[in-house]
Amino acid sequence: MLSDQQLARKSLEYRRDTLRWIKHSGAGHTGGSLSCTDILNVLYNRILRVSPQSFSSPTRDRYIQSKGHSVESLFVVLADQGFYQQEELASLCRYESHFVGHPTKKIPGVEQNTGALGHGLPISAGIAIGGKLDNADFRVFTLLGDGELAEGSNWEAAMAAAHYKLDNLTAIVDCNTLQITGHTANVMNNEPLAEKFQAFGWAVRSIDGHDIRELTAALSTPLETGKPSAIIARTVKGKGVSFMENVGKWHHGVPSDEEYAQALSELNSALKALPETC
Ligand SMILES: [Mg+2]
């Protein structure tokens, strides 16, 4: 298994590649892709039992990215996992490319079309029910945006997941406090989020969504037998690039040449600051 330091290196490389392809394509959901990078890193390199070889197996773990617009970081991580060559992302957002601005099942490694928000949790709950009916031991993970939780379908699914005791289901909320139109607290306040999931019958843990160890501990096993798990991952939108962090306009946006150079410089400096051995 890769060490914490090796994963820290991967996170920086993933962020660098995410920006590279957003810059190349001329479009992208930049801030949200950067906020969920560490979550994807830990899921794919430590938690999920899924690979290009096992992707058609009914026993594989499932990952459904409900906040589908933050697809660029997912595309980068799937390339790193060997689902396709990274250079295929040169076609991102190009005419007739399957690498569009949301996940689609035409991309190897993608379980579900998502990005119409509020669908990932209901779909995941359904798959988890199927797993229970089959006595299968796979787990189902879904990544939700905090702004996405304004969609009522999430709460119908949350109620059903607890009712059916879906301890094979884990929902991770990328809680970066921002959404397309501003601060989530102002657009549609969803706090106190942990208490809401608890009231719906879920086991809940709040963590730093950029901390490799906290993510690993929270995701390695279901939090509680007989209950679905909700991980409230506190994150920073635009994480890793100083001028993008917590700035709403980077919800989507392509850096200028100067901004791109600065972002690369910051990420490369962070890479150089890591210990030589990782
Ligand atoms: Mg958000």
Residue reference for tokens 């992707």: 55
127-179 pLDDT per residue, tens: 999 999 999 999 999 999 999 999 999 999 999 999 999 999 999 999 999 99
Residue identified by tokens 């295929």 is: 88
Question: In the chain, how many domains are there?
Answer: 1
Q: Residue 146 — φ and ψ, nearest 5°? A: -70, -35
Ligand 1 centroid–CA 231 distance in Å is 15
Taking every pair of C-alpha atoms in the chain, what is the biggest distance, in angstroms?
Answer: 54
Identify the helix (H) or strand (E) that includes residue 196.
helix 193-199
For residue 237, the CA-to-ligand 1 centroid distance in Å is 7
154 Cα: distance to centroid of ligand 1 (angstroms): 15
Domain presence at residue 278: no
Helix or strand run (H / E) with residue 60: none
- The number of residues making up the chain comes to 278
**Is 215 among the domain residues?**
yes
Q: How far does the centroid of ligand 1 lie from the alpha carbon of residue 34, in Å?
A: 11
246 C-alpha to center of ligand 1: Å?
A: 10
State pLDDT tens for residues 154-166: 999 999 999 999 9
Q: How many A from CA of 129 to the centre of ligand 1? A: 28
Ligand 1: centre distance to CA 150 (Å):
11
Q: Is position 83 within any domain?
A: yes
- How far is 40 from 110, CA to CA, in rounded Å? 13
**Residue 234 resides in a domain:** yes
Q: What average pLDDT does the structure give for the chain?
A: 96
**What is the distance in A from the centroid of ligand 1 to the CA of 15?**
17
Give the pLDDT band of residue 226 (cuts 50, 70, 90).
very high
Dist. CA 172 → ligand 1 center (Å)? 12
Q: What is the pLDDT of residue 241?
A: 97
pLDDT of residue 276: 73
Q: Judge whether 80 and 89 are in contact, CB under 8 Å.
A: no
Residue 232: per-residue pLDDT: 98
pLDDT at 3: 95
Residue where the block lists tokens 């399957």: 98
Q: How far is the CA of 236 from the centre of ligand 1 (A)?
A: 9
Tell me, in angstroms, the distance from the centre of ligand 1 to residue 107's CA: 24
- Record the pTM: 0.97
Q: What angle do CA 12, 18, 21 make, to 5 degrees?
A: 140
Let me know if residue 187 belongs to a domain. yes
Domain extent for 181: 4-273
Provide the CATH number for the domain around residue 236: 3.40.50.970
State the distance from the centre of ligand 1 to the C-alpha of 53, rounded, in angstroms.
33
